């Protein structure tokens, strides 16, 4: 079993839809959870960064963490064609730039105008 599982998709939605992206993980030591967006042939860009369980909102993006279920989600409201990208979840066990991140495979999202 991989440490982090993420459905690779592809996921195709119409413009304006609410998108739900999810990851599960097996390592209960993970406490810091991140979502990165990666456009084709580009490096990952940090979207959301959360600690432990709970919700965090930033504009159209909401990140949720449920540590009891080892499950994290990213919601995108009013999705736009510019949101079309691969979304990677990542996690670590300590709050330090020195910690290797463990990534999911990424979910490819297409938002159709």
Partner 1 sequence: DAGVTQSPTHLIKTRGQQVTLRCSPKSGHDTVSWYQQALGQGPQFIFQYYEEEERQRGNFPDRFSGHQFPNYSSELNVNALLLGDSALYLCASSPDHNEQFFGPGTRLTVL
Instruction: Give the footprint of partner 1 on this chain (CB under 8 A).
Output: 4, 6, 8, 32, 34, 36, 41-46, 49, 88, 90, 92, 94-106
Nearest residue (CB) to partner 1, 17 versus 101: 101
Please, which residue, 80 or 99, has the CB nearer to partner 1? 99
Q: How many other CB atoms sit within 10 Å of the CB of residue 82?
A: 9
The contacts of residue 1 (CB under 8 Å, 6+ apart) are 26
CA atoms lying within 13 Å on the CB side of residue 70: 12
Q: Which is nearer to partner 1, 76 or 88 (CB)?
A: 88
Q: What's the closest the beta carbon of residue 20 comes to partner 1, in angstroms?
A: 19
Look up residue 78 and give its two tokens.
Answer: 């009013």
């Amino acid at each position: 079993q991989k440490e982090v599982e993420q459905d690779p998709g592809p996921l195709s939605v119409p413009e304006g839809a609410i998108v739900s992206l999810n990851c599960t993980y097996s390592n209960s030591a993970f406490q810091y959870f991140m979502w990165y967006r990666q456009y084709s042939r580009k490096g990952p860009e940090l979207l959301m960064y959360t600690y432990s369980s709970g919700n965090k909102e930033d504009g159209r993006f909401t990140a949720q963490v449920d540590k009891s279920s080892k499950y994290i989600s990213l919601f995108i409201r009013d999705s736009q064609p510019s949101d079309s990208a691969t979304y990677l979840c990542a996690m670590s066990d300590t709050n330090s730039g020195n910690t290797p991140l463990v990534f999911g495979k990424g979910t490819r999202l297409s938002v159709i105008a």
